[in-house]
């Protein structure tokens, strides 16, 4: 019987790999970047081709009625419009799945070098499978995704994680995907597009801008939430001293492997549920043409005022995919977002400041997110910043206490060159002794416990949790 919690930490501690070296993996990524044919060209949009404007619904969709649609969204308060924008509607739940296997005595994860049309650097390290339901049911008429059967029939192996989690709720409307990890005991076929890596290697790659994609980060956050929390002590027993040695930092160890703080969880859920219960906004989907501040042209769907994104239309050709040529709309970011948490050591335990975050596309109105979640244009003065956000920007500019600072991409299948800066800053808790409404300090174990609920921790916070590393906290 494999002790998964212990083996995950051992795999995390191995930053060089026992199957493929880190340098070999980077060469593999570089080679695929150089040799695979990729063309993503913005083109004019006629609104009546394969993707068209449906006059009946007022949405943009494709002739197969598959993958996704673009709709208009309005939020109303007291009958007045307080927000309007295009949103992506993608009701289907897709697979974000990773296969794990013990190889030569060490846990390895099977990762894919995948190209998405919106990726800034073309090839990124992705889960074993990353497929929408339209994709794996072959609505596009292409080939079946590799390794699909391992996830369609996951019960034939050991399921380590199986959670339905939210996606970017400022762009999607109630979008969710299935984060799933399976542990396989037998041989697994290997394709040129995939390689085995330790968790430690993946963590090292996360320190490189835009190398590990969003889908990998969310799955890793769910995996660690399930297997590296307080339950590890029950399974690992006497090995906990060895685990402590591999983690390195006592405050981070105590944060990860203590029991979740039930008192903090009760307070947190009350904050979240109060926000859901007493929300006085009405959200409605409307025809795109009814968005008063937006213009639908041949080049884009753009806001008349400064806004974090616009919609463009691209002709795409990518080698080594189920379908090699297609066209589609993509959401183009107009600048970088900033996602960040403050961290402190409180009575020997590393803690993180998080907040209740309302977003227009949340499945249930609000989720917990990072303390700072600022869209592009936040530095333009168009946002009203609270005390936490103001202090965070000051500390970031000052440079002291920065523990994590890395640029990461959003999902390239729907978003074009969308990047965010992910930052963790160590701070004296006394500087934030009075928190604005909606903020709360949590340790790693408590956040991990909450990640195991669907639609409680948003993708921005899950992604930041995936960036935290042993040995340097």
Residue 459, domain extent? 262-280+335-467
State percent of the chain over pLDDT 70: 97
Residues 311 and 458 both lie in one domain? no
The residue count for the chain: 473
In CATH, what number is assigned to the domain containing residue 124?
Answer: 3.90.79.40
* 324: confidence class by pLDDT, cuts 50, 70, 90: confident
Residue identified by tokens 């640029």 is 407
In a domain, 78, yes or no: no
State the pTM of this model. 0.95
Residues 116 and 8 both lie in one domain? yes
In a domain, 472, yes or no: no
* 394: confidence class by pLDDT, cuts 50, 70, 90: very high
Torsional class of 376: left (φ above 0), alpha (ψ -120 to 50), beta (otherwise): beta
**Average pLDDT of the residues in 349-364:** 95
Residues 164 and 150 both lie in one domain? yes
Q: Is the pLDDT of residue 343 over 60?
A: yes
Q: Is the pLDDT of residue 315 over 80?
A: yes
Higher pLDDT, 238 or 54: 54
Q: What is the pLDDT of residues 144-166, one digit of tens each?
A: 889 999 999 999 999 999 999 99
Residues 376 and 436 both lie in one domain? yes
Residues 159 and 207 both lie in one domain? yes
**Domain finish residue from 318, 333, 348:** 333
Cα 148 to Cα 129: distance, rounded to the nearest angstrom? 7
pLDDT of residue 355: 98
Residues 450 and 409 both lie in one domain? yes
Supply 131's token pair: 């497929």
pLDDT of residue 433: 84
- Which of 358, 456, 469 is CA-nearest to residue 424? 469
Helix, strand, coil fractions of the chain, as percent rounded to 5: 30, 35, 35
Q: Is the pLDDT of residue 472 over 90?
A: no
Cβ partners under 8 Å of residue 372, min gap 6: 338, 339, 340, 341, 388, 389, 392, 423
- Which of 342, 331, 368 is CA-nearest to residue 460? 368
In a domain, 354, yes or no: yes
In a domain, 204, yes or no: yes
DSSP class per residue in 60-72: EEETT--S-EEEE
- Mean pLDDT of the residues in the chain: 93
* 141: confidence class by pLDDT, cuts 50, 70, 90: low
pLDDT of residue 366: 96
pLDDT of residue 371: 98
Residues 397 and 412 both lie in one domain? yes
Residues 207 and 161 both lie in one domain? yes
Q: Is the pLDDT of residue 424 over 90?
A: yes
Residues 33 and 47 both lie in one domain? no
Residues 127 and 217 both lie in one domain? yes
Q: Is the pLDDT of residue 268 over 50?
A: yes
In a domain, 305, yes or no: yes
In a domain, 86, yes or no: no
Q: Is the pLDDT of residue 28 over 50?
A: yes
Q: Is the pLDDT of residue 379 over 80?
A: no
pLDDT of residue 281: 87
Q: Is the pLDDT of residue 322 over 90?
A: no
**What is the number of structural domains in the chain?**
3
- How big is the chain by its Cα radius of gyration, in Å? 22
pLDDT of residue 473: 37
Residues 358 and 416 both lie in one domain? yes
Residue identified by tokens 């903020």 is 439
Q: What is the pLDDT of residues 222-244, one digit of tens each?
A: 999 998 765 665 555 678 889 99
**Average pLDDT of the residues in 364-385:** 89
Residues 235 and 316 both lie in one domain? no
Cα 447 to Cα 465: distance, rounded to the nearest angstrom? 9
């Amino acid at each position: 019987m494999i002790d998964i919690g212990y083996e995950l930490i051992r795999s995390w501690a191995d930053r060089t790999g026992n199957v493929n070296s880190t340098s070999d993996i980077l060469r593999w990524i570089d080679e695929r970047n150089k040799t695979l044919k990729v063309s993503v060209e913005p083109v004019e949009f006629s609104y009546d081709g394969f993707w068209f404007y449906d006059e009946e619904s007022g949405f943009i969709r494709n002739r197969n009625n598959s993958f996704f649609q673009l709709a208009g969204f309005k939020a109303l308060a007291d009958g007045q419009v307080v927000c309007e924008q295009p949103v992506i509607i993608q009701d289907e739940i897709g697979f974000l799945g990773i296969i794990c296997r013990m190889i030569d005595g060490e846990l390895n994860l099977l990762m894919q070098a995948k190209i998405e049309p919106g990726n800034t650097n073309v090839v990124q390290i992705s889960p074993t499978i990353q497929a929408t339901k339209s994709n794996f049911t072959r609505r596009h008429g292409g080939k079946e995704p590799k390794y699909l059967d391992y996830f369609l029939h996951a019960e034939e192996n050991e399921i380590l994680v199986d959670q339905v989690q939210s996606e970017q709720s400022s762009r999607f409307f109630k979008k969710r995907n299935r984060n799933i990890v399976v542990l396989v005991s037998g041989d697994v076929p290997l394709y040129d597009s995939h390689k085995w890596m330790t968790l430690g290697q993946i963590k090292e790659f996360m320190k490189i801008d835009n190398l590990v994609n969003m889908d990998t980060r969310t799955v890793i956050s769910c995996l660690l939430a399930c297997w590296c929390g307080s339950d590890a002590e029950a399974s690992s027993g006497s090995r906990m001293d060895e685990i402590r040695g591999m983690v390195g930092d006592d405050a981070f160890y105590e944060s990860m492997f203590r029991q979740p703080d039930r008192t903090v969880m009760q307070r947190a859920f009350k904050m979240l549920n109060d926000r859901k219960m007493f929300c006085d906004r009405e959200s409605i989907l409307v025809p795109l043409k009814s968005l008063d501040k937006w213009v639908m042209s041949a080049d884009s769907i753009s806001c008349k005022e400064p806004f974090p994104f616009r919609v463009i239309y691209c002709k795409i050709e990518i080698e080594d995919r189920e379908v090699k040529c297609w066209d589609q709309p993509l959401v183009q970011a107009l600048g970088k977002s900033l996602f960040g948490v403050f961290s402190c050591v409180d009575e020997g335990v590393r803690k993180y400041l998080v907040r209740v975050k309302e977003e227009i596309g949340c499945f249930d109105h609000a989720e917990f997110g990072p303390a700072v979640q600022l869209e592009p244009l936040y530095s333009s003065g168009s946002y009203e910043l609270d005390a936490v956000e103001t202090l965070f920007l000051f500390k970031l500019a000052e440079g002291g206490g920065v523990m994590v600072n890395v640029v990461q991409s959003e999902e390239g299948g729907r978003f074009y060159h969308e990047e965010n800066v992910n930052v963790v800053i160590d701070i004296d808790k006394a500087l934030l002794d009075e928190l604005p409404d909606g903020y709360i300090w949590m340790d790693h174990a408590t956040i991990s416990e909450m990640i195991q609920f669907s639609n409680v921790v948003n993708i921005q916070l899950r992604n930041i949790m995936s960036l935290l590393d042993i040995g340097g906290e």
